[in-house]
Structure 1
Amino acid sequence: MTADITFQQFCNWLKLKHLVLIDTLARTQNMHVAAEQMKLTQPALSKMLRDLEDMLGFALFERLPRSMKPTELGEQVARYAQVTLNDTKNFVAQINKLRKGGHGYLKVGTIFAATFNVLPEAITLTKEQRPLLSIEVVEQTSDNLLQMLKRKEIDLMIGRFTEDHYRQLFDFRSLGPEPFVLVVNPRHPLATARAIDPAELSRWPWILYPSGTPIRARIEQAFHEHGIPLPDNTVDTISMPTFLQLLQSGPAVAMLPAPMVQPHLDTHALCQLDCAFAVAALDFGIITRKDDPLPPAAAMFSETLLALYARRNP
């Protein structure tokens, strides 16, 4: 039986160029393309891969006629390589910022609704304390953000769990429930109607969040509970500008987070429908990797967000 690799051996063997090789080959699944991207000759790349597989004691890739597919163990190593390289890229970016007198780099993932709530104020307060801190905001759906957080492409996220198994990987600090409202443009035939029968809703076009998102699941559940069919005429999007443009340009209906549409309700650009059709408010909050302490800037930003929500919702 082959002896286990010790931690010290692993540290002595493995170099970042090995991780770059594994990540590049896993993405391209082509030796020639990987060699070009790494600016190496194909024989040099092949030798590096053979040496690495000899050190690890197992094959990382299947040698197929036209591709290099990761083995089952190779997929595990490729995931490790991707996470480690992303972590290293973030570290290099922070070091360069610090060398220039800055205060590091913070990358926050957020669902679209949060950008209409206290996120801008939290960023402003954080920048007041660390004016040279670079902050990047990535707007995406929760399912995409969770994958980015897992791969260490973002420091933290503001969103929701889309599946229960994520609770084993991440910590969640609630920012509170987020209500949803049913809206149309003011010219819509339903805009001035009272006590609208929910069954009437399936007759109209709908703009929906994509399948797999928490709000989409809640809306589909609401249709089921009211015993009415899902609308046939739909557009799926995660873009708030697209939601607004489609609502304004036609007789569409949408269920959107209240903080996101409140300014449009205040200016009468949109109308909230008087209808019993509703979805339960969804809790959202700050999600971070378990057993992975936040960098100081991310921890300060997180506490600022929590304090702002607590102040607004005593």
Structure 2
Amino acid sequence: MPPPPEYSRSNSFNVLIRRGVKMTHLQLVAAIAETGQVLSAAEKVGMTQPAASRLLAQLEKAVGAPIFRRHLRGVKLTEVGEILAKGATRMLSDLDLTQERIDQTLQGAHGIVRIGSVTGPSMQWLLPTVRDLRAEFPQIELTVHVDTSVKLTDALLSRELDFFLGRVPDGVDPRPFRFEPVSEEPIALVVRRGHPLSGRTELTLDDCLDFDWVMQPPGGLLRQTTENYLVSHGFRLPERTLGTTSTLFTLALVHDTDAIAPLARAVAEFYVRETGIGGRVDMLDVAPDLRVKTYGLVRRIEDEATPAAERVIRQLMERAPTPTE
């Protein structure tokens, strides 16, 4: 039996609006999804609890199904309610971004640009670009979040970031993303200054495997790349490995022990320098072809960049490393 005309694909546009659903209804259901309480949601939207209850009844009538169930600790959205709340949250977020784009267009590329990056590109690519942007466009405020591609992908999907420098992780649906490839990411093995292997000529990876290693926890891309490289070249894996996501802790452990750490070469080179905060670690002259797969600029395919974000992206792509760097 065919669905009623009101539900047909050709007539479905704006059905909820024609049924009387207003912005306040959407703000309220999004707030309930966030708080799990009618009273808290009402306060968040700026209304009384009785007014919120009336709006919820109107909303249930409009969608033709219950959208929440009450329980001792508050309310829980039904499956229909969760679908509605997700759509409402997405629409409200899109409206905020639209207003941000309007403001930035009127003001001339003012505003906040939220950038994510994995560690290597943050040092090699993002840092010099940020330095130039601060001088040329001081009216653009930048926030930078450095993390793994897995966490940056989640932040991008939840619109906490405008874009990030990294990779779409394996196993993640690539369809929501636009990926502009830039370069592979060289890896260096880092040790403390004065390490038994430091400065040795004709060094091999086999010489390194008798020492402790400090790497990302299992599953991290840099660790996977390093271990795959060792196995594919006929070497055993290190017998003693400490896993950490912290570059600072990695460098502290390397500085205080004989541990060996694979790091993005751009990060290693920064800390090897004699000036500033570096000069206390060395890079081993081994495995020059050890590289993580290509990284690039990742953004949501369905969203247009704000004028300020577009300015930052153009500046980044002009400074993008070449594949040989």
CA contact (8 A) 1:87 1:152 kept: no
- The reply on whether 1:188 has 2:195 as its aligned counterpart is yes
Cα deviation for residue 126 of structure 1 reads 3.9
Paired residue type of 2:242: T
Quick one: which of 224, 241, 244 aligns to 1:236?
A: 244
- The reply on whether 1:155 has 2:165 as its aligned counterpart is no
Quick one: which of 12, 36, 40 aligns to 1:6?
A: 12
Match runs of 1:208-227 below 5 Å? 208-222=215-229, 224-225=231-232, 226=234
SS in 1 for 2:305: coil
The structure that has the greater radius of gyration is 2
CA contact (8 A) 2:133 2:312 kept: yes
The CA deviation string for residues 21-56 of structure 1, in whole angstroms up to 9 with x for no partner, is 233222333334434544544443333223222212
The CA deviation string for residues 261-304 of structure 1, in whole angstroms up to 9 with x for no partner, is 11322434212234459743321111111143322332232222
Paired residue type of 1:292: D
- Unaligned ranges ≥5, structure 2: none
Quick one: which of 80, 85, 99 aligns to 2:87?
A: 80
Quick one: which of 137, 142, 162 aligns to 1:135?
A: 142
CA contact (8 A) 1:143 1:213 kept: no
Q: Distance in 1 between matches of 2:214 and 2:40?
A: 41
Quick one: which of 269, 273, 285 aligns to 2:284?
A: 273
Corresponding pairs, count: 313
Moved more, 107-116 or 67-76: 67-76
CA contact (8 A) 1:93 1:105 kept: no
- Residue in structure 1 matched with residue 67 of structure 2 by the alignment: 60
SS in 2 for 1:58: coil
- Residue in structure 2 matched with residue 306 of structure 1 by the alignment: 317
The structure-2 alpha-carbon separation of the partners of 1:43 and 1:131, relative to structure 1 and needing over 3 Å to count, comes to: same
Match runs of 1:27-176 below 5 Å? 27-92=34-99, 103-127=110-134, 129-176=136-183
SS in 2 for 1:244: helix
Paired residue type of 2:320: Y
Paired residue type of 1:135: L
Paired residue type of 1:59: P
Moved more, 196-205 or 108-117: 196-205
- Unaligned ranges ≥5, structure 1: none
CA contact (8 A) 2:109 2:307 kept: no
Q: Distance in 1 between matches of 2:211 and 2:58?
A: 63
The CA deviation string for residues 82-129 of structure 1, in whole angstroms up to 9 with x for no partner, is 333333444455666677777233222222222211323323444555
The CA deviation string for residues 105-154 of structure 1, in whole angstroms up to 9 with x for no partner, is 32222222222113233234445554322222222221111122112222
Moved more, 62-71 or 289-298: 62-71
* Structure-1-length-normalised TM-score: 0.82
- Residue in structure 1 matched with residue 28 of structure 2 by the alignment: 21
Q: Distance in 2 between matches of 1:201 and 1:78?
A: 54
The structure-2 alpha-carbon separation of the partners of 1:139 and 1:189, relative to structure 1 and needing over 3 Å to count, comes to: same
CA contact (8 A) 1:109 1:139 kept: yes
Moved more, 250-259 or 184-193: 184-193
The CA deviation string for residues 211-261 of structure 1, in whole angstroms up to 9 with x for no partner, is 444223323434554463565541312x33333222212232211110111
The structure-2 alpha-carbon separation of the partners of 1:115 and 1:292, relative to structure 1 and needing over 3 Å to count, comes to: same
The structure-2 alpha-carbon separation of the partners of 1:296 and 1:38, relative to structure 1 and needing over 3 Å to count, comes to: closer
CA contact (8 A) 1:113 1:260 kept: yes
The structure-2 alpha-carbon separation of the partners of 1:203 and 1:68, relative to structure 1 and needing over 3 Å to count, comes to: farther
Over the matched positions of the two proteins, sequence identity in percent amounts to 25
CA contact (8 A) 1:83 1:152 kept: no
The structure-2 alpha-carbon separation of the partners of 1:295 and 1:116, relative to structure 1 and needing over 3 Å to count, comes to: same
Q: Distance in 2 between matches of 1:28 and 1:281?
A: 41
CA contact (8 A) 1:94 1:105 kept: no
- The reply on whether 1:290 has 2:301 as its aligned counterpart is yes
Q: Distance in 2 between matches of 1:156 and 1:77?
A: 27
SS in 2 for 1:309: coil
